[in-house]
Amino acid sequence: MTANEHILSAVGQISERFLMECDEFVSERRRRIPHRRTSRRIALCAAIAAGAALLTGAALTAYRVWFPTSFDNRTEHSAAIYDIEPFRMSIELPEGCVITSDFEDPDDAQSGWSPLDIQLNGHSVGTADYNIFEIYPGSPPIHEGNFYRMVYNQLMLGNQGNWDNGYTVVKQDDTSENAVTKISYIDPEVYGSGRPPEPDEISYQPGILAYNTELLVYVNIRLDDGVFTDEQIEDIARSIVLSR
């Protein structure tokens, strides 16, 4: 038996009862602890469910969503972000995932311009949102130098929730670029104190970014840590297409 066959055999032996117990455990932990505090066991359960679909060759599911999807967070100061011709994001997600405006936690609907909830087996595991950008005279050519930092400046210039960590391109053409990255978070108490954080006081979670210079828009996807494999995250990033 080959190594791949051993893996597939092991995945096939995961009982429905075990997956049910994982789901029950996740539900109970979510009830008892603050939202999005994911323990190692919760991450393991979700990864098994998502990884089993990948290892058995299950196809990704294609979705097409529009931005902006909602104008609930629109204000006078953010009008320019909403007052654009709507654009479409095509994306492929692992089996068991959906992308929806029906948030598991309603508070997450307020955490961006026009966010969507990414759910795995009914539980939120990330969000997707969008923004606009401009190309200024003297900007570096697309795909060169700090061009991507100019596009994502609002995400990459801050200290808290910084997306400029290991930015890695997975797909590009003449007008677009898709990449994976890490989003860094400083422990809130340390961040509030003003002192520089120690390495163990910074946590990271996966992020996906994609821009299009013809549309002058980008999407940013934030995923919970430990839910998807690096390969799955790169596949998701590679699948994204922005169009009208």
More confident residue, 227 or 112: 227
Q: Which residue type, as a one-letter code, is found at position 1?
A: M
Distance set, CA 1 to CA 12, 13, 14, 52 (Å): 15, 16, 19, 19
Alpha carbons within 13 A on the beta-carbon side of 51: 19
Distance set, CA 110 to CA 4, 99, 170 (Å): 43, 16, 30
pLDDT at residue 74, rounded to an integer = 87
151-161 tens-digit pLDDT: 999 999 887 88
DSSP letter at 140? P
For residue 118, give every residue at least 6 positions away whose Cβ sits within 8 Å of its Cβ, in sequence order, or none. 93, 97, 98, 99, 124, 125, 126, 127, 128, 221, 223
Domains of the chain: 60-243 (3.40.1000)
Single pTM value for the model: 0.74
52-101 tens-digit pLDDT: 444 444 578 999 999 998 888 888 888 999 999 999 999 999 999 999 99
Cα angle 113, 225, 104; round to 5: 50
More confident residue, 208 or 32: 208
